[in-house]
C-alpha cells in the first residue's frame, strides 16, 4: 500500500503508481528529520517504478552537532492493488554486509518482491552506505579484506607468517578510520542503533502505523535493533540468514572454534549416509585437523600472473580453514575427498579448491562502502572492542581468524561506537519472527535462532537443506509469504529439503 496521507515533506502523486516517477518536492523547509521526493538513486529503482525520496536526519540524534545524513529511500508498490478492506502492511528491508547496497541490483530487489507477495517494499541505503551522504568510502581496504577479496587477499596468501599477513590489513583499517575522521565524520554514530532510529523516523514520515521488517545477514542484527528499540512499530520480523550483534561480537577465537565444528558436522553427515565414506575417513572427527596440519607442514604454493609478473601465493592450514568458511556451500560435497587426499600428500584437488584460475590482481567491492563495513562491524561492539594486544594474541593462537572474523581487526579502528549499554544483550521481545538459515552456512546457522528462542518466544526457524548464506529457492518464498500472512501461526517447514544434497565426492 502507499503511504496513507501526504505530509509537508512527502509529495505523492497518482502518476507514480502509473510508473511516471515522483517529481522532486520543492520546499524551503530545512527541518530535521524530513523526507523529500527525489530522483531515484539508481537505474534499478527507476526501472522498478519506485517512488523515491531522500531522508534527512541527524548524524548524532542524541547530541546534534550540525552534521546531517541523507539516505536514499525507495517505495515499490505491489503489482496489483489490494482491496480497500485488505490489510497489507509494508515490508522494510535491512541490507547486510555490513555496507552492501542493494539499490542498484534489480534482480535482488525482484527476489524480495517475490518473497513478500502483494505488499509494498521499502528499500534504503543505511547511513554510511554507498548512495548515502556521507558515504563512508575506503576503497583501499577492499584490496586486503578477506570478506571482499575472498580467497586471494594478501592477509591470507602473502606470507606463511601470520604476523606478516596481519600487517597487510591492520594498516588499511587505521588509514580508513583516519580518512573518515579527517572528512569531519562523527564515526561513532554509524551503528545499528542509529540506523534503527533513522528507520523509525522514515516509518513515521511515510505515515505507516507499523511495518514488517526483513533483514539480511548483519542486516538482521539491525532489524533486531529496531525490534529492541521500537517494538510497537513492528508487526513481524524476518531474520534472513542472521548474523546479529550479541553473538557476532563474541571473542573472535571463541567464535571461530564454534564455527569450525560445522566442517566436522558435514563429514559426519557423509559417514552417516555412506558406508564408503565411513571407510574412507574412519576418523572423521580428526580429519579437518589432520588436513590442516599437513598444509602447515607443507603449504600449497601457487604461481600466478600479476601485472605481467609472476607472483607467489601461499596456502597453509589457516588458508584451508578460511576457504572452507567462505566457500562451504560450493565445496561441501568435495570435502571428504580433500581431507582424505591432503594428509597423504596428494594435493591434486587444491588448485581448484583455492580457485587459482580465478586469481585477479585488481580487487574492488563495487557495491560496498568499505568504511561503512568497518564502522558497523567495530562500532557496534561498544566497549567490547579489542585492543591490539588482544587481537595479536588471538591471531598468534589461531591464525585462521585473520580471514574469518572481522572483529579482531577492530583493535585498529579508532573509536568505540556510541551504542546504548544494552545494545549487545540478547533481544527480549514478543514480536513474531521467522529465522531462515542455510544448512551449509558456517557463518549464520541455527545456533543464532537457538540463542534467541528463550527471549523471543514467538520466533520460528527453518533450515534449508544444502543451501548456504542468502539461500534463494522456492521454499524461501513460500515460508515468507505464509509467515507474513499470519505471523503467529505455525509455519509449514516441509519444503526445507526441496534442494537435494549433492552426491558425496569420494576417491
- Boundaries of domain holding 230: 34-138+185-250+421-485
Give the model confidence (pLDDT) of 139-173 as tens digits: 888 888 877 766 788 888 999 999 999 998 999 99
**How many angstroms separate the CA atoms of 472 and 475, rounded?**
8
- Three-state DSSP class for 67? coil
Q: Answer whether residue 7 is part of any domain.
A: no
Q: Answer whether residue 172 is part of any domain.
A: no
Q: What is the pLDDT along the chain (507 residues), one digit of tens a residue?
A: 334 333 333 332 322 333 333 333 333 468 999 999 999 999 999 999 999 999 999 999 999 999 999 999 999 999 877 654 445 799 999 999 999 999 999 999 999 999 999 999 999 999 999 999 999 999 888 888 877 766 788 888 999 999 999 998 999 999 999 999 999 999 999 999 999 999 999 999 999 999 999 999 999 999 999 999 999 999 999 999 999 888 888 877 777 887 889 999 999 999 999 999 999 999 999 999 999 999 999 999 999 988 888 999 999 999 999 999 989 999 999 999 999 999 999 999 999 999 999 998 877 788 999 999 999 999 999 999 999 999 999 999 999 998 877 889 999 999 999 999 999 898 999 999 999 999 999 989 999 999 999 999 999 999 999 999 999 999 999 999 999 999 999 999 999 999 999 999 997
Q: Answer whether residue 277 is part of any domain.
A: no
Q: Answer whether residue 50 is part of any domain.
A: yes
pTM over 0.85: yes
Q: Answer whether residue 160 is part of any domain.
A: no
Q: Answer whether residue 198 is part of any domain.
A: yes
Query: Exposed e or buried b for every residue in 347-367, given b needs 16+ CB within 10 A?
Result: bebbeebbebeebeeebebeb
Q: Answer whether residue 177 is part of any domain.
A: no
The number of folded domains in the chain is 1
Q: Write down the residue that cell numbers 572423521 correspond to.
A: 284
Q: Answer whether residue 90 is part of any domain.
A: yes
Give the model confidence (pLDDT) of 209-234 as tens digits: 999 999 999 999 999 999 999 999 99
User: Are β-strands 459-464 and 34-37 bridged in parallel, bridged antiparallel, or unpaired?
Assistant: unpaired
* CATH number of the domain enclosing 75: 3.40.50.1820
Q: Write down the residue that cell numbers 509455519 correspond to.
A: 491
**How many angstroms separate the CA atoms of 398 and 441, rounded?**
21
Amino acid at each position: 500500500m502507499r503511504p496513507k496521507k501526504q505530509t509537508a515533506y512527502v509529495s505523492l502523486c497518482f502518476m507514480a503508481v502509473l510508473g511516471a516517477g515522483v517529481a522532486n518536492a520543492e520546499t524551503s523547509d530545512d527541518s530535521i528529520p524530513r523526507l523529500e521526493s527525489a530522483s531515484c538513486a539508481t537505474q534499478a529503482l527507476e526501472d522498478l517504478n519506485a517512488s523515491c525520496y531522500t531522508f534527512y536526519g541527524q548524524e548524532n540524534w542524541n547530541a546534534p552537532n550540525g552534521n546531517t545524513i541523507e539516505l536514499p529511500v525507495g517505495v515499490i508498490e505491489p503489482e496489483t492493488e489490494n482491496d480497500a478492506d485488505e490489510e497489507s502492511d509494508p515490508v522494510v528491508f535491512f541490507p547486510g554486509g555490513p555496507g552492501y547496497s542493494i539499490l542498484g541490483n534489480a534482480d535482488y530487489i525482484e527476489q524480495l518482491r517475490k518473497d513478500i507477495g502483494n505488499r509494498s517494499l521499502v528499500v534504503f541505503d543505511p547511513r554510511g552506505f554507498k548512495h548515502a551522504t556521507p558515504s563512508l568510502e575506503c576503497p583501499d581496504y577492499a584490496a586486503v579484506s578477506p570478506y571482499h577479496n575472498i580467497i586471494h587477499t594478501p592477509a591470507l596468501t602473502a606470507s606463511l607468517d601470520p604476523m606478516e599477513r596481519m600487517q597487510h590489513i591492520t594498516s588499511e583499517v587505521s588509514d580508513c578510520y583516519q580518512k573518515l575522521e579527517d572528512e569531519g565524520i562523527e564515526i561513532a554514530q554509524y551503528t545499528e542503533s542509529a540506523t534503527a532510529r533513522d528507520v523509525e523516523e522514515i516509518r513515521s514520515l511515510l505515515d505507516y502505523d507499523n511495518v514488517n521488517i526483513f533483514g539480511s545477514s548483519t542486516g538482521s542484527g539491525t532489524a533486531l535493533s529496531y525490534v529492541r528499540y521500537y517494538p510497537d512499530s513492528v508487526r513481524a520480523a524476518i531474520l534472513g540468514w542472521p548474523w546479529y550483534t550479541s553473538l557476532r561480537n563474541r571473542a573472535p577465537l571463541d567464535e571461530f572454534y564454534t564455527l569450525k565444528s560445522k566442517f566436522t558436522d558435514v563429514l559426519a553427515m557423509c559417514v552417516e549416509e555412506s558406508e564408503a565414506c565411513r571407510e574412507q575417513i574412519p576418523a572423521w572427527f580428526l580429519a579437518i585437523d589432520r588436513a590442516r596440519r599437513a598444509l602447515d607442514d607443507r603449504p600449497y604454493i601457487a604461481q600466478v600472473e600479476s601485472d605481467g609478473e609472476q607472483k607467489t601465493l601461499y596456502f597453509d592450514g589457516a588458508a584451508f580453514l578460511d576457504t572452507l568458511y567462505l566457500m562451504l556451500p560450493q565445496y561441501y560435497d568435495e570435502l571428504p575427498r580433500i581431507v582424505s587426499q591432503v594428509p597423504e600428500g596428494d594435493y591434486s584437488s587444491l588448485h581448484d579448491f583455492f580457485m587459482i584460475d580465478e586469481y585477479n590482481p585488481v580487487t574492488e567491492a563495487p557495491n560496498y562502502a568499505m568504511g561503512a563495513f568497518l564502522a558497523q562491524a567495530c562500532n557496534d561492539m561498544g566497549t567490547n572492542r579489542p585492543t591490539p594486544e588482544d587481537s595479536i594474541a588471538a591471531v598468534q593462537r589461531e591464525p585462521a581468524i585473520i580471514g574469518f572474523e572481522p572483529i579482531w581487526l577492530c583493535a585498529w579502528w579508532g573509536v568505540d561506537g556510541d551504542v546504548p549499554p544494552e545494545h549487545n544483550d540478547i533481544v527480549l521481545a514478543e514480536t513474531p519472527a521467522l529465522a531462515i538459515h542455510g544448512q551449509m552456512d558456517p557463518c549464520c546457522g541455527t545456533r543464532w535462532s537457538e540463542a534467541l528462542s528463550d527471549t523471543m518466544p514467538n520466533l520460528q526457524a527453518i533450515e534449508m537443506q544444502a543451501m548456504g548464506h542468502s539461500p534463494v529457492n522456492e521454499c524461501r518464498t513460500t515460508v515468507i509469504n505464509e509467515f507474513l500472512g499470519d505471523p503467529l501461526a505455525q509455519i509449514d517447514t516441509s519444503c526445507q529439503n526441496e534442494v537435494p544434497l549433492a552426491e558425496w565426492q569420494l576417491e
